[in-house]
Amino acid sequence: MYKLLFSAFLLIFSANAQALDDAAGNVTGKVIDAVSKQPIEYATVTVLNKSTRNVINGTITDGSGSFVIKGLAPGNYIFKIQSLGYQEYTINTVSVQKNASVHLPVIALAKQENVLQDVTVTAKKPLVENKIDKMVFNAEKDLTSQSGVATDLLKKVPMVSVDVDGNVQLAGSSSIQFLINGRPST
């Protein structure tokens, strides 16, 4: 008895579901680049109710730029198509009828060009710069160099040693040349 009632319930439910699917409309379309005519993959297609402007459904385009939206109830809808780097495209009225499919014309999206006003790139010099023929110690980056004498500053430079008498050596050699602001110094 229960099996018979359950079977009847499933039959009625599937018939109602089939009737709802048959009454719903499908909308198909294709999105391409306006200049190159190449399909645009992953473009967002949003369906809004025309009267309330609420989002009803949506999808993204496949590799061929095509999309299918299934199960729309009969009525009027707004379709918005968006993709990164392209201008938004809006179709203000798409009428979906009972048991009908709507095929939208090919939608060509135009590139959106953004012009930057100015770009400023700033970077801070490191305290020690290793170059091909020299090593540069940027004294202005050392906060403790603002006061004191030059020998205190030289004690902080890598591979430079200063003895008690103020004699300077670079990697054990005293025959070195110091440049201050690009000029030789004694």
Domain-wise residue ranges, the chain: 26-109, 128-185
pLDDT band (50, 70, 90) for residue 61: very high
What is the band of 11 on the pLDDT scale with cuts at 50, 70, 90? very low
Residue 78 has pLDDT above 60, yes or no: yes
> Which is nearest to 61 in space by CA: 83, 79, 78?
83
Say what the pLDDT of residue 34 is.
92
* DSSP helix/strand/coil, 162: strand
Name every residue whose Cβ is closer than 8 Å to that of residue 94 and which is 6 or more positions away in sequence. Answer: 27, 76, 77, 78, 79, 102, 104
Which tens digit of pLDDT belongs to each residue from 115-165?
777 888 887 777 777 778 777 777 766 666 666 676 676 777 777 777 777
Fold of 26-109: Immunoglobulin-like (2.60.40)
Residue type, 185: S
Residue 9 has pLDDT above 50, yes or no: no
CA distance 77 to 145: 71
> With 70 as the cut, is the pLDDT of residue 33 above it?
yes
Give the per-residue pLDDT at 6: 42
Among 73, 64, 67, CA closest to 94: 73
User: Nearest-CA neighbor of 90 among 73, 109, 103, 74?
Assistant: 109
